[in-house]
Structure formats: C-alpha cells, structure tokens
Chain A
C-alpha cells in the first residue's frame, strides 16, 4: 500500500518532466530520424513509401563527409582538451580563493557565458580579421611578409582558440563543482605524509576531480561537435565541420533528409566516441585501484 503511494507520488513528480522531454526533445529527434530514411523531394518516391537507408549510405560513403567527420571530432576533442587544461587552473584557483574574492573571480570567469555566442565569435573577427588588431600590430612591426597569405582568420588555430574561448567557462563550471567539494585538509594530509605540493595535487586533487573533468569534457565535446557559428566565422572554405554541412544541406540546398542523416551520424558517432573514452577511463581507474599484483 505504502509502496504504491510512493510509486504514484514518484510518477506524479516525474510526469511533467517526462512529458516535457518527450515533446521538446524526444519527438523532434524522432521526426529527425524519420526524415533521414526518406528520399529527397526531387526523388522518384516520397513519403513513407520508400524507406531507404540511402541517405546514410551517401553520408558514410562520401570521402569528403568522412574526412569532415574526422575533422569535426578532432576539433571538438582538441577543444575539450584545451578547455580542460585552461579551465583546471582557473577552477582550482577559485577553490583556493578566499570567500570574498571567490565571488568576483567566479563572475569574471563565468561572465562571458552571459554574452551571446555570435557576439563573442564575431568579437574575435575584430582581433584576428584581415584589418584586425593583430594584423595591424604585425604591419606596424613590419612583418607584412606573413600577411601575404591573407587573413589569419581562416586557420584551424584561430577557430580552435575562439571555440575554447566560447566553451571553457562550461568546463570551469563542471570542474569547480567537483573541486569545490575537495576538503583542503586532504592536501594538508598528503603533504604531511611527505607529498610535495605538486605530488599532492596529482595524487589527491586530480583523482578527486576526475568526475567533474569527465562531465566537462562531455559537455564541451558535445557542444563543440555541434558548433556552427564559430566554424562558419573562422573556418572559411578550408576548415569545415559537420554542423555546417548539415546546415548547408538543410537550408541552402533544402535537402532536409540528407542534412538530418548528417546530424544523426554525428550524434551517434559522438556517442560511441564518448562511450569508448569512459570505458577506457573506468578501466584505468580499476587498474590503479586494484593494482597489477593480484
């Protein structure tokens, strides 16, 4: 009786969220999935009549798409990695800061999240653009020779840089969540037992913040995979990502079916990649905990 009341209560609490998820996430995703197995309207058959995996075949068979998929993941992975390296010292610095200083420092590092991605990305144009600040400085220093290749905007590096700038606050947020729970007495204990400052950091702080780092990497990797604006602004013709292709197929070429298939391929393969990453992490964790001498 009591158990049933509890179940009922749980259902009542979860129902609104479940409905919201279905309507706003499940349904569109399902429709997107359905779209992928339909032919382009210019094709011979349309509608549900010809359920064909043709769109997927086209995406996976194309060397261009395969290369772009690889590049997208490479870029997203690098972005997650660099964000981790940049975000870690910041999160740890916030942890160590005094209470009064923490508030302003948190605002300083997380404030950029409040600014629209478009604004932030375009802001970089001012710095890195052909007539931007960087080139101006170089020109003044008489280093024009380097400029002959034109704007330095369209390089992977500037794209990576701006993506890191856009996404690393999320990494800081995820890391800070984990790091803030670490009792500073742990570090004292480690040093008291003979660990140097850096040894204490790697033996105690890093393992304890691993869950936060994992959340941060997943978040940044997923968002960077779907990043469109920064890629569009900086990638130019040479660096392109799958999100841009999907947009192009859907909006410019009005081939929604192919665009959707591109997206599904990206989402599924990103999921597989993350799965592999975590399996590897868990294995490393188990090995270090149990040890080889068993």
Chain B
C-alpha cells in the first residue's frame, strides 16, 4: 500500500529459545484501527513494545508516516501507549499525569493544563482531574491512562489490554469509551487483546498472531468467514471441521464428496483436488432433507434464541445451531443437514 501510515516489513525479535516475533509484516492506513488478536504468548504485547521502541527488532524495518523508526528511541517516535499495568505516575495528580506528555513536548503550563482537561473531558472523566491515581478504581485508572496517551495526539495509539481483567463490565465500559474516542478523531490505533469480541467490535482490521507468527490479517468478516487455516478458524469462533474429498470446481463453486452425497462449497480454485477440510460455522448449518450428510442426534441444548444440536456424523461429531428445532426432536432422531455453498469454506487438509 502506497499510502500506508504504519508499515512493518519482515520484523523479527529473537527470544531465548524461540523467536518472540518471526517475520511480521503488515501495513495500516491512516485513521484505521487494528486489533492484534491471539492467545497468551502470541507476541501481541511484544509487537506493541516493539512499536513503542522498547524492544529492538533483530531483523526488519518499521516505518511510521513515511519515516523509518526502526532504531528511533522511544521518546522520538510520536507513538503513545496505554500499558497493561496502566503505569500512572503515583506522585502526580490525574491532571499532571495527563499533561506529562505535553510537558515533555515543551507546552507551557497553562495551555498544558487546559489541554489535559480537554482530554479528560473527552473521555467523560473531567471530575477526576485533581485526584491522585492511588485513589482511583481500575476503570478510572484505565481511562486516565487512555487520556494520558491520547492527550499528545500521537501519530499512533497503542492499547495493551491486561490478560485477565478483574471485571468484564468495567472492561466493556472502557472499550466503549475507547471506541468513541478513537472513531471520530481518526486516530490510528492498535489494540492488543486475547478477546475475540473486543477485536471484532473495535477494529477495521484484525491480525491474528500465534507464537510470534502472523497467521492472518484482514477485516473481521474475512477472518471469520474465510479463515486461512484451522487455527484461525478455531480462534475466531466455534467451527466444525469435516474431512471431505474435493472433486473439482464448477461455476457454482467447489464440488465435494461427503459421506451422504455431494455438496458445494465456496470456490477456492488454488486447492488441488483430494482430501480437504470443510469448515462450517454452527449457525450456518440448517436442516435439509436433501442434504449431503446425515446422522443421529446425540445431544440437544435449548438456548432460547436457538437450539444447539450435536450430531454424530460418519465424519465425526458436528454442532449445529438451529433457529427452530423441528417438532419432536429427541436424542437418536436421524437428521439430514445442509448449508449455503457460500457459507462452506474449504481448508487444506494439513492447514
């Protein structure tokens, strides 16, 4: 991308026994928000620390707004970070915490205080200005940390979510504020999280990391509906993986052979004919008297808006979420299942 605001080119960071980051490349346009998603130890925090200048890449380059910042010191990057541990200065008031970045940039005192107040006001916490960080609850500290980072109007805002936040509603509140703050101001931002819902809801682009390797990057919908491999499919949501045989491609898409007949799936012409994995999201599966797979019901979980049904197919167990369960559904009932070919996604067998 020519107008990339941020670009990483094959960035690697060496670790003790395995690379912390391995050949990480992606670009981000101005005003976009990216979510770094992945399990513990995937390299999310490492990526943020690298961008902030606290971790030196052993290979690769990082560019921000057309400038190579690979070797720039943390203070010379115009990147503000909200740390996992908030890291508010305990000896300064909330207002002075938020004004710290402006002070370092030489903004005179009066103006600094005014801007800091504005940054607090933008997040709806102007009332906290005179308090000390030690007197705040977790949500308050998080919001102040956010205001402190945003107050400098950085070229890039990094937000590192703690791995195990104490309180889910608090976290939701912080995220709502974050979304409201980042959206209208067109701040380019990166959120590191292990929570899929947060990543999907927050961002224009999601990058899924595993063990320092970028597994896939794209719009949330793309990752969910067109996962690159088994790991992405599983991490982005519940997914049934059925072994199948790819017979070939027609105008209608891929043609598969399953235990109960042939079926169609979304086209993936790059896959050679032979053994593949069929990736089916539970809510895409429906009852179909002419469907290509069939098996007895093993388990029924009524969940209000839908009924979760587990079937034992010859391919293996499958979970389907049915909007309306057929009358008389019971354990042992034989059901035939089908799906829209556009919702069925193929993965290479070893993916």
Q: Is B83 an interface residue (CB 8 A)?
A: yes
Residues in chain A near residue B81, CB distance under 8 A: 189, 192
Contact assessment for B87 and A194 in the assembled complex, using a CB-CB cutoff below 8 Å: no
B75 touches A186 (CB 8 A): no
CB-CB under 8 A for A193 and B100, given A188-B74, A204-B89? yes
Interchain nearest-CB distance for A291 vs B (Å): 7
Which residues of A165-206 are within 8 A (CB) of B?
183, 185-186, 188-196, 199, 203-204
**When the two chains form their complex, are residues B152 and A291 in contact, meaning their CB atoms are under 8 A apart?**
no
Q: Is the CB of B109 within 8 A of A191?
A: no
Whole-angstrom distance between the alpha carbons of A125 and B80 in the complex? Answer: 56
Asked whether A293 lies within 8 Å of B75 as measured between CB atoms, the reply is no
The CA-CA distance from A289 to B130 in the complex, in Å, is: 11
From A186, A194, A289, A291, give the contact of B104 (CB < 8 A).
A194
Given known A183-B85, A188-B83, A193-B152, contact A289–B93 (CB-CB < 8 A): yes
Cβ contact within 8 Å between B54 and A193: no
Nearest A residue to B104 via CB reads A194
* A192 pairs with B110, CB closer than 8 A: no
Which chain A residues border B113 with CB–CB below 8 Å? 293
CB of A50 within 8 Å of the partner chain? no
Are the CB atoms of B87 and A186 closer together than 8 Å?
yes
**Which residues of chain B come closer than 8 Å to A189, judged between CB atoms?**
81, 83, 87-89
Known contacts A185-B85, A195-B75, A196-B75; is-contact A190 B91 (Cβ 8 Å): no
List of B residues within 8 angstroms of A194 by Cβ: 75, 101, 104-105, 152
**B79 within 8 Å of A by Cβ?**
yes
Size of the chain B interface, CB-CB below 8 angstroms? 27
Using Cβ atoms and an 8 Å threshold, which residues of chain A touch B110?
A: 293
Chain A residues with Cβ below 8 Å from B100 are 190, 193, 195, 203
- B9-32: which have CB < 8 Å to A? none
- Chain B residues with CB under 8 A of A207: 91
CB of A195 within 8 A of CB of B90, answer no
Q: Does A208 contact B (CB under 8 A)?
A: yes
Question: Would you call A199 and B109 a contact (CB within 8 A)?
Answer: no
Neighbouring A residues of B104 by C-beta, 8 Å:
190, 193-195, 199
Flag whether B208 is at the interface (Cβ < 8 A). no
Q: Which residue of A has the minimal Cβ distance to B52?
A: A192
B83 contact set on A, CB distance < 8 A: 185, 188-189, 192
Q: Mark B117-150, 1 if CB is under 8 A from A, else 0.
A: 0000000000000000000000000000000110
- Residues in chain A near residue B75, CB distance under 8 A: 191-196, 199
Within the assembled complex, what's the spacing in Å between the Cα atoms of A185 and B90?
12
Question: For the complex, what is the distance from the CA of A199 to the CA of B104, rounded to whole Å?
Answer: 9
Q: Is the CB of B109 within 8 A of A192?
A: no
Segment 255-310 of B: residues with Cβ below 8 Å from A: none
Residues of B within 8 A of A (CB): 52-54, 73-75, 79-81, 83, 85, 87-91, 93, 100-101, 104-105, 109-110, 113, 148-149, 152
Listed A/B pairs (23) with beta-carbon separation below 8 Å: A183-B87, A185-B83, A185-B85, A189-B88, A189-B89, A191-B53, A191-B54, A192-B52, A192-B54, A192-B75, A192-B79, A192-B81, A192-B149, A193-B148, A194-B101, A195-B75, A195-B100, A195-B104, A199-B104, A203-B100, A208-B91, A291-B109, A293-B110
Closest 3 CB pairs of A and B: A194-B104, A193-B101, A189-B87
A interface residues with partner B (beta carbon < 8 Å): 183, 185-186, 188-196, 199, 203-204, 207-208, 289, 291, 293
